[in-house]
Every structure is written in structure tokens, then in C-alpha cells.
Amino acid sequence: MHHSINIIRRKTNEALLNQLPEELPLLVRRILAQRNISSPEEAIFDLQYLSPSKKLTGLDKASELISNAIISSQKILIIGDYDADGATATALSFLLLKEMGASVQFHSTDRFDEGYGMSIELIDKLHNKLDFQLIITVDLGISANEGVKHAKELGYQVIITDHHIPPEVLPDADSIVNPNLTNCQFPSKHLAGVGVAFYTLSGVRHHLEKKGWFYSFRIQQT
């Protein structure tokens, strides 16, 4: 049986194309305009132009839970997807949490042996293999209703950071950070999984800073 594929060429918004900075190559400006970039600032990568994190639903609660876990020396497990987005999100989360003083390890899913996402079978495998109290997902988990339920039954806290379109019924996680939640006012709905992880970690840093953690952590290291 043969399936047809329709290739649709994006139309360039000429008005937006002319508004974008001329120092950007024409090809880059055309790509951005085809994606309806609404202002030149959106094509500038300086931190001051990042969308405000306070509009990201679930971020404050997730940051508080993670920072509390770090301070109380709980063991954190990052579960990330196997693809480029999941791998970069996993690496970013692992390295930054280590820098913040967390006891953290990670598991990258194996699509061939473990299937997709955070399944019941995967939770059982990790439960029998590793020692942890808090699960943070990166680039997956928004559809893992059964996996999250099972993890909660085993006594784990679960924080989901993801960017995929959510199902009608969300997993019963302790917190969900996803710009595509229906009640989320975050303006960038095309944020990648690693971007969601970045915002979550920036929230963790903010909470730890307010609690004076970095001062006490430096004292512990000397």
C-alpha cells in the first residue's frame, strides 16, 4: 500500500522579512519570516530577550520541589528521551544540577529495548536498579499517565518537563512544566525540550539563591 505525502511550501511574510535585522543573512531572515517571527528582537539571542519564565505554568512549583530535594540531599534521577533534544536536555540538566550541589544521575531511554517514554516497565527497571527519590523527566512524560501513576505508587516524586502536545487527561505528577498546557500563558509554544529544561533549571537556581544555598554549599566544599 502506497501513501502519498504532500509537501507544502511556507509562504514568506514579506513585511516581517523587511523588519528583521539586515545583518542576518537573507536565508535566515526568510526562514524566520516564514515562521511568523513578529519582531526583530525575536531573532536576537541575548538573554534579555528571553520570554519571561514567570509565565511558564508549573515552573515555580517544580523549582521549589527540586531545590528542596537538593537542600535535603535527596537523590534525583533524570529520565530523558534518546533523541538530540532529549540528549541535550539530559546533559544540561545533569551538569547544572551537579554544579548546584545535587546528588543526581540520569537514564536515557532506549527506544528498541524500553519503548517510548516513561512506561511502567521502565519505572520497575529503574526502581530495581537505582537509588533515587525524585524523578525529573526531560523531553518526555507528558503522556506517561500510567508510568507516573506507578512511580507515585512506589513513593517517588515526579516532575515532568516536556514540550509535546499534552493529552486531554494529564499525568498525576507533582508538577508539570510544558508551554503547550492549555492554561499556560508562555508565549513561545515551540520551545524545545531542552529549552523547557533550561527554564526549569533557571527557576531552581533562583529558589536556591533565595534560600542562601550557594553560600552554605561553598562553605561545605571548603
The residue with greater pLDDT, 109 or 76, is 76
E strand or H helix that includes residue 80: strand 75-80
DSSP one-letter string for 126-192 = HHHH---SEEEEES--TT-HHHHHHHHHTT-EEEEE--SPP-SS----SEEE-TTSTT---S-TT--
The residue with greater pLDDT, 1 or 60, is 60
The predicted pLDDT at position 195 comes to 96
In which residue are the cell numbers 507515585 written?
152
pLDDT in tens, 14-66: 888 888 888 888 998 888 888 877 666 776 778 887 888 889 999 999 999 99
The residue with greater pLDDT, 82 or 152, is 152
Is residue 107 a contact partner of residue 135, using CB atoms and an 8 Å limit?
no
Domains of the chain, by residue range, sit at: 14-47, 53-221
CATH for 53-221, among 3.30.300.160, 3.90.1640.30, 3.30.465.10, 3.40.50.300? 3.90.1640.30
Q: pTM of the full predicted structure?
A: 0.83
